[in-house]
């Protein structure tokens, strides 16, 4: 008779997790902590990290799908990395992430793990994970402003407001597509307003 492993819940996604899953979460935490500001001015919140570890925002290799459009919309240019390019690929993207950190920005996720995110609708994920996010915001991140990335996470704004995190400090934004100058300008203007409010 087969028995399933008695896995403990992961504190990143709230689901039972294998040792491999926990090890991957710890690795993501190590990478993101390296670029965490001492004081977070603007906390960006996305749904979940990408499935492939090398595509994560804080991983040594750049994720072109998310990394470039996001940082370009924030006017953190790729040219910042040119002077840091060396024989090792870990230098790619480091200057941009450092500038992101210097501005007081930090990227976190509603679910800190990518696994099984396709198994439930975003609304269910929000309801299940919002209490953990609220605890992280209150006791760990303590940001001055919050920017929710993606309309699918829009309901999160009202939940945070009901939890005592004022809706006036929370914005919902869409990351503009590469080449969409108007959307990028609007994104930057909103972030500038958020950033000035967090000073």
**140 or 193: which leads in pLDDT:** 140
Number of domains in the chain: 1
CA dist 128 and 134 (Å) reads 12
CATH of the domain at 193: 3.40.470
At 53 the pLDDT is 79
Angle at which helix 122-136 crosses helix 155-162, to 10 degrees, equals 40
- Averaged pLDDT for residues 97-108: 94
Task: Say how far apart CA 116 and CA 51 lie, in whole Å.
Answer: 10
Position 2 in a domain: no
What is the tens place of the pLDDT at every residue in 162-176?
999 988 889 999 988
Count of CB atoms situated within 10 Å of the CB of 184: 19
Report the DSSP beta bridge partners of residue 43: 106, 146
Q: Per-residue pLDDT for 52 more than 70?
A: yes
Is 14 among the domain residues?
A: no
Q: Does a structural domain hold residue 158?
A: yes
| Any domain includes 10 | no
Q: What is the pLDDT of residue 63?
A: 59
Whether pLDDT at 6 is above 50: yes
Residue 13 lies in a domain: no
pLDDT (tens digit, 9 = 90+) per residue, 57-78?
888 765 567 788 888 889 888 7
pTM of the model: 0.86
State phi, psi for 98 to the nearest 5 degrees: -65, -40
Task: Please give the residue range of the domain that contains residue 42.
Answer: 19-197
Q: How far is CA 160 from CA 14, 148, 150, 167, 168, in A?
A: 19, 11, 16, 7, 11
Q: Which residues contact 56 (CB under 8 A, 6 or more apart)?
A: 28, 31, 49, 50, 63
Residue 118 has pLDDT above 80, yes or no: no
Residue 174 included in any domain: yes
pLDDT tier, 199 (very low <50, low <70, confident <90, very high otherwise): low
**Is the residue at 6 inside a domain?**
no
Confidence (pLDDT) at 88: 47
Asked if the structure places residue 11 within a domain, the reply is: no
Average pLDDT estimate for 36-45: 95
């Amino acid at each position: 008779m087969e028995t399933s492993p008695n896995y403990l819940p992961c504190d990143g996604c709230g689901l039972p997790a294998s040792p491999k899953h926990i090890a991957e979460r710890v690795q993501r935490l190590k990478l993101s902590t390296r670029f965490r500001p001492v004081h977070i001015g603007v906390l960006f919140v996305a749904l979940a990290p990408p499935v492939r570890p090398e595509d994560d925002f804080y991983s040594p290799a750049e994720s072109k799908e998310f990394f470039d459009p996001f940082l370009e919309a924030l006017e953190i240019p790729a040219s910042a990395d040119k002077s840091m390019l060396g024989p090792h690929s870990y230098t790619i993207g480091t200057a941009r992430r450092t500038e992101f950190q210097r501005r007081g920005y930090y990227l976190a996720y509603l679910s800190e793990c990518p696994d099984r995110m396709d198994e439930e609708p975003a609304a269910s994920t929000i309801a299940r994970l919002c209490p953990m996010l609220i605890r992280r915001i209150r006791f760990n991140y303590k940001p001055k402003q919050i920017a929710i990335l993606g309309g699918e996470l829009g309901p999160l704004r009202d939940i945070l407001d009901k939890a005592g995190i004022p809706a006036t400090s929370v914005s919902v934004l869409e990351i503009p597509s590469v080449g969409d100058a108007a959307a990028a300008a609007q994104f930057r203007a909103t972030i500038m307003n958020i950033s000035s409010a967090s000073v």
